[in-house]
Amino acid sequence: MARSRTPKFDASEVITNEIIRIIERGVLPWRKPWAAGGSARPLRVCGEPYQGVNNFLLTMRTVMAGHSSPFWMTLPQANALDAKVRKGEKSSVVVYYGQSRKDAGDEDQHRENDDRSEEARIFRFQKSYRVFNACQIEGLPQSFFPDPEPAPEHPPSEPIPHMQVFFDAIDITTVFTGTEAYYLPPVDKVFMPSIARFENPRNFYGVWAHELAHATKARHRLNRDYGLSRFGNTAYAREEIVAELTSVFLGQTLGFTAHTLEMNAAYLYNWLRVLRSDKGAIFKHAADAQRACDYLIARSEAGGAGEVDQAA
């Protein structure tokens, strides 16, 4: 009698289905302003911030569960600290990427021509592991529960100094005019409404980050291409996901949350269509967004003379 086999755990499918279920409820939890223990990013047990898709996933889970600690760790890491996960607590799946090298066959190594270049193939792989938030664990040192910092208040419709300085230093031309926000590839410019049109200035910077993220796809920047992009098609939807996540990641550094001028069923459908058709999409696009975020930070730190056009 044949034994039934337990289906192999597929982290990509599990994580993608989790995100789909959340979006189907009509919410984007990563847009909710939050800080756990004074940190805007989830942290490893050593204090190192998570990046890419794991940052996105744990940000989402922190918001939804209401955790007050930014720290996450594996069960063995908790045990090593003489702490224990509370009974009944559920773990969160995260992933890591690595690569292995497979050299040419042993028989090739003994060929007469020993000075021939070595042949090898590089294999990339994805593995998953499970982590718990510090709030799910008993017996941890108090250092894993830092005091929250009060959220700074900013006057409505006025620039936030450190954010304005950051964006002004990026050498991508921004034109402030009209009521719409978009990146126009033929002229390589970002078009934005003025900050006066935003009651919450954080939303202004969230939208600006979204459009600058689109500008990073240009060939002379990150050369990101998902194919011919037209409003509503798959290539367009994929690029929108990258811009959204870039705004999330950049906002964690500067203190705003992702924001777009339009938040409707069509926007959510873009996410769902891509995720339902490709269980690896969120991993690829989170990596692309991390690259875009890092690029914008580097350009700002380089102090490029950002051109700012004021139009009527």
Asked which of 21-30, 31-40, 102-111, 265-274 is least confident by mean pLDDT, the reply is 102-111
DSSP result, 44-80: -TTSPBP-HHHHHHHHHHHHHHT-S--BEE-HHHHHH
Q: Which of 199-208, 232-241, 263-272 has the highest mean pLDDT?
A: 199-208
| Three-class DSSP category at 111 | coil
What does the pLDDT look like over 42-80, one tens digit per residue?
999 999 999 999 999 999 999 999 999 999 999 999 999
Does residue 113 carry a pLDDT above 90?
A: no
Does residue 111 carry a pLDDT above 50?
A: no
Does residue 235 carry a pLDDT above 80?
A: yes
What is the reported pLDDT for 228?
Answer: 80
The span from the CA of 27 to the CA of 258, in Å, is 13
Q: Which of 5-9, 31-35, 167-171 has the highest mean pLDDT?
A: 167-171
The answer for residues whose C-beta is within 8 angstroms of residue 188's C-beta and 6 or more apart is: 172, 173, 215, 218
Does residue 32 carry a pLDDT above 60?
A: yes
What is the reported pLDDT for 66?
Answer: 93
The span from the CA of 186 to the CA of 223, in Å, is 15
Confirm if 267 and 258 have CB atoms less than 8 A apart.
no
The span from the CA of 255 to the CA of 161, in Å, is 12
Task: Read off the pLDDT of each residue in 25-51 and give the average, rounded to a whole number.
Answer: 91
The span from the CA of 87 to the CA of 132, in Å, is 12
Task: Read off the pLDDT of each residue in 196-200 and give the average, rounded to a whole number.
Answer: 94
Confirm if 20 and 60 have CB atoms less than 8 A apart.
no
The pTM for the full model equals: 0.86
Does residue 220 carry a pLDDT above 90?
A: yes
What is the reported pLDDT for 179?
Answer: 94
In the chain, the largest separation of any two C-alpha atoms, in whole Å, equals: 79
The answer for residues whose C-beta is within 8 angstroms of residue 293's C-beta and 6 or more apart is: 213, 246, 249, 250, 253
What does the pLDDT look like over 249-306, one tens digit per residue?
999 999 999 988 766 677 888 899 999 999 999 999 999 999 999 999 999 999 754 4
What is the reported pLDDT for 269?
Answer: 87
Confirm if 202 and 258 have CB atoms less than 8 A apart.
no
- Pairing mode of beta strands 174-176, 308-310: parallel
Nearest to 51 by CA among 283, 238, 223, 310: 283
Residue 204 sits at φ, ψ, to 5 deg, of -60, -45
* 218 membership: H or E segment, kind and range: none
